[in-house]
Amino acid sequence: MILRDLLLEKSNPMITLGNKLLKYEPSMYDDLKKWLDGLRLTGKAPRGMKDEFANIQFLQKQVDMIEKFPKMTPDDNFNIGSVFSWWDKETIQKIVDKLSKVEGETDTLKIGTITFTNKSTINFKKFQQHSNYIAGELKKLKGFHKKALKGGLKIKFVKKDECKSKAKYKGDKDELYIRPDRMEKGDGYASLIYVVLHELGHRFERKVKSYNNVPYTTKYSKTQSFDGDEAFAELFAISHWKKDYPEYKKQIAEFTKMVK
Same domain assignment for residues 38 and 141: no
Read off the DSSP letter of residue 84. Answer: H
User: Are 165 and 205 within one domain?
Assistant: yes
- The reply to whether 152 and 31 lie within a common domain is no
Total domains in the chain come to 2
Question: ∠ CA(36), CA(128), CA(179), 5° rounding?
Answer: 80
Question: What integer is the mean pLDDT of 95-121?
Answer: 86
For the stretch 120-164, pLDDT in tens is 888 888 889 999 999 999 999 999 999 999 999 999 999 888 888
Closest CA to 189 of 166, 212, 211: 166
Beta strands in 51-130 (DSSP E): 108-111, 114-118
- 115 and 94 within one domain: no
Rounded CA gap, 211 and 233, in Å?
A: 11
Shared-domain flag, residues 85 and 203: no
Mean pLDDT of all residues in 7-13: 59
Mean pLDDT of 12-33: 92
What CA–CA distance (Å, rounded) separates 99 from 22? 17
The answer to whether residues 252 and 146 belong to one domain is yes
pLDDT computed for residue 11 by the predictor: 61
**Strand-pair partners of 117:** 108, 156
Last residue of a domain, one of 99, 129, 146: 99
* Amino acid type, 91: T
pLDDT of residue 65: 86
Q: How far is CA 148 from CA 15, 140, 152, in A?
A: 45, 13, 9
If asked whether residues 61 and 161 sit together in one domain, one would say no
| pLDDT tens per residue, range 39-68 | 888 778 888 999 999 999 999 989 988 888
CA 77 to chain centre: 25
> Is residue 65 located within the same domain as residue 157?
no
139 and 56 belong to one structural domain: no
Helix (H, G, I), strand (E, B) or coil at 100: strand
Domain final position from 66, 99, 132: 99
d(CA 148, CA 136): 15
Q: What is the pLDDT of residues 170-214, one digit of tens each?
A: 999 999 999 988 877 788 898 989 999 999 999 999 999 999 999
**What is residue 71's predicted lDDT score, i.e. its pLDDT?**
78
Can you say how many angstroms the Cα of residue 71 is from the centroid of all Cα atoms in its chain?
24
Our CA angle for 54, 56, 61, nearest 5°, is: 95
d(CA 134, CA 132): 6
Domain range for 67 is 3-99
Residues in the chain: 260
- Taking the C-alpha atoms of residue 129 and residue 149, their distance in angstroms, rounded to an integer, is 20
Neighbours of 169 (CB within 10 A): 25
Residues 73, 142, single domain; the answer is: no
Indicate if the pLDDT at residue 3 is higher than 60: no
Q: Among 72, 99, 126, give the residue marking a domain's end.
A: 99
Residue 85: per-residue pLDDT = 93
Q: How far apart are CA 157 and CA 159, in angstroms?
A: 7
- Judgement on whether residues 13 and 126 belong to the same structural domain of the protein: no
Residues 15, 92 within the same domain: yes
